[in-house]
């Protein structure tokens, strides 16, 4: 186990190294630099700006400096919103995005897993067909379509929920964005749990459990679910990625001032340091998430062969 964790740590470090390097050089490959405007700035100002942000240094020196800053946790100043640093912007936006994301993850699991179980236990009955029909729609309908439909019906026509959520201070403001954000992953998890549950309840040990005379409740929730839930753990990494990137559009639609909005704006404004900083920030979160998920996965399921312990 220890060796496995070290192995995964090394590969995580390598991944982050590549991500930061690639992101840095991609952003520096852009011709024109960050201060190219429709109306060109005077030569002297550009020169002063370049000097201020050390853009006149050779690229390798900028690269090393960027690494130094990153290792101190500093993502540099924003080029467009003067007097703001990327860290400040992330600090403003990310807590809101994280709150939305965590509620969405909890909602996805609390609704998706039971739906999958229900569907598997009632295989071939109307409950199964209804759930799977909705789940199939759920994985094919884009989140922004779902969000606009929700806003239109529940916000504009029925006026039950607010159409804009602001800073997510009241519980009611969570309802529509959370549903829209988790629509895809919820359906995905329901399908995943259904198929793995169907697999598990055919196993011999379930028959043994039934033969012992255990109640159906115990068989399902104590014996079958434990194994059926394992694929859900592997999906947690992609789930987090989906929710983070999905929030770009959801935050825009519900006017939530989160990280996604800042990121999309920074792309629109060509705010290079902010784009670079957010990309790295998101990637670090997700790579670390994947790492944790992998470790949990191995701890939960003893059948998994540990990669890196034997042949490496």
| Chain residues in the site for other proteins (CB under 8 A) | 11, 14-15, 18-19, 23, 26-27, 29-32, 136-137, 139-145, 148-149, 151-152, 156, 195, 237, 241, 244-245, 248-249, 252-253, 264, 267-268, 270, 275, 278-279, 282-283, 286-287, 290
Q: What is the rounded CA–CA span in Å between residue 23 and residue 74?
A: 16
Which residue, 208 or 255, is less far from other proteins as judged by CB?
A: 255
End-to-end CA distance of the chain: 13
For other proteins, the closer CB: 50 or 265:
265
What does the CA dihedral 106, 109, 110, 114 come to, rounded to 10 degrees? 180
Residue closer to other proteins, measured from CB, 99 or 252: 252
CB of 211 to other proteins, least distance (A): 29
Residue among 80 and 245 whose Cβ is closer to other proteins: 245
In the complex, least distance from residue 11 CB atom to other proteins, rounded to whole angstroms: 7
Q: How far apart are CA 182 and CA 106, in angstroms?
A: 10
Q: How far is the CB of 177 from other proteins (least distance, A)?
A: 15
* Residue placing its CB nearer to other proteins in the complex, 108 or 247: 247
State the minimum distance, in angstroms, from the CB of residue 258 to other proteins: 13
Q: How far apart are CA 49 and CA 147, in angstroms?
A: 42
Q: How far is the CB of 118 from other proteins (least distance, A)?
A: 19
Compute CA 288 distance to the chain's CA centroid, rounded to the nearest angstrom: 12
Q: How far is the CB of 270 from other proteins (least distance, A)?
A: 7
Q: What is the rounded CA–CA span in Å between residue 43 and residue 29?
A: 21
Q: CA dihedral defined by 105, 109, 110, 111, rounded to 10 degrees?
A: 110
Secondary structure element (H or E) that encloses residue 216, with its range: helix 216-218
Closest approach, Cβ 140 to other proteins, in A, equals 4
> Of the two residues 182 and 278, which places its CB atom closer to other proteins in the complex?
278
Nearest approach in angstroms of CB 34 to other proteins is 11
Pick between residue 110 and residue 137 the one whose CB is nearest to other proteins. Answer: 137
Q: Which token pair is 240?
A: 């987090």
Cα–Cα distances (Å) from 75 to 65, 81, 269, 300, 302, in that order, read: 11, 14, 18, 36, 40
Q: Hey, what are 2's tokens?
A: 């220890």
Q: How far apart are alpha carbons 19 and 55 in whole angstroms?
A: 21
Query: Measured between alpha carbons, how far is 254 from 96 in angstroms, rounded to an integer?
Result: 13
Measured from the CB atom, the residue of 182 and 279 that comes closer to other proteins is: 279
The candidate with the shortest Cα–Cα distance to 246, out of 229, 234, 263, 267, is 263
């Amino acid at each position: 186990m220890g060796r496995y964790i070290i192995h995964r740590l090394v590969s995580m470090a390598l991944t982050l190294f590549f991500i930061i390097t690639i992101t840095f050089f991609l952003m520096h490959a852009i011709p024109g630099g960050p201060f190219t405007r429709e109306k060109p700035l005077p030569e002297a100002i550009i020169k002063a700006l370049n000097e201020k942000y050390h853009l006149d240094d050779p690229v390798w020196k900028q690269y090393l400096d960027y690494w130094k800053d990153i290792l101190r946790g500093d993502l540099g100043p924003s080029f467009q919103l003067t007097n703001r640093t990327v860290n400040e912007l992330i600090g403003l936006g990310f807590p809101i995005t994280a709150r939305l994301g965590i509620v969405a993850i909890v909602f996805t699991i609390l609704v998706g897993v039971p739906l999958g179980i229900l569907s598997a236990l009632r295989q071939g009955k109307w409950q199964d067909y209804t759930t799977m029909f909705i789940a199939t729609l759920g994985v094919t309908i884009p989140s922004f379509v779902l969000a606009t439909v929700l806003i239109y019906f529940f916000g504009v026509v029925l006026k039950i929920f607010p159409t804009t959520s602001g800073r997510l201070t009241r519980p009611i403001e969570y309802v529509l964005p959370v549903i829209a954000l988790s629509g895809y992953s919820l359906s995905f998890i329901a399908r995943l749990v259904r198929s793995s549950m169907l697999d598990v309840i055919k196993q011999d040990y379930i028959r043994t459990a039934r033969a012992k005379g255990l109640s159906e409740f115990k068989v399902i929730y104590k014996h079958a679910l434990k194994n059926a839930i394992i694929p859900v753990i592997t999906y947690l990494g992609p789930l987090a990625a989906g929710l983070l990137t999905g929030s770009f559009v959801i935050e825009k639609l519900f006017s939530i001032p989160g990280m996604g909005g800042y990121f999309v704006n920074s792309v629109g404004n060509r705010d290079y340091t902010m784009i670079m900083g957010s990309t790295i920030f998101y990637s670090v979160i997700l790579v670390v998430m994947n790492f944790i998920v992998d470790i949990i996965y191995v701890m939960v399921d003893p059948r998994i062969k540990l990669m890196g312990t034997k042949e490496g």
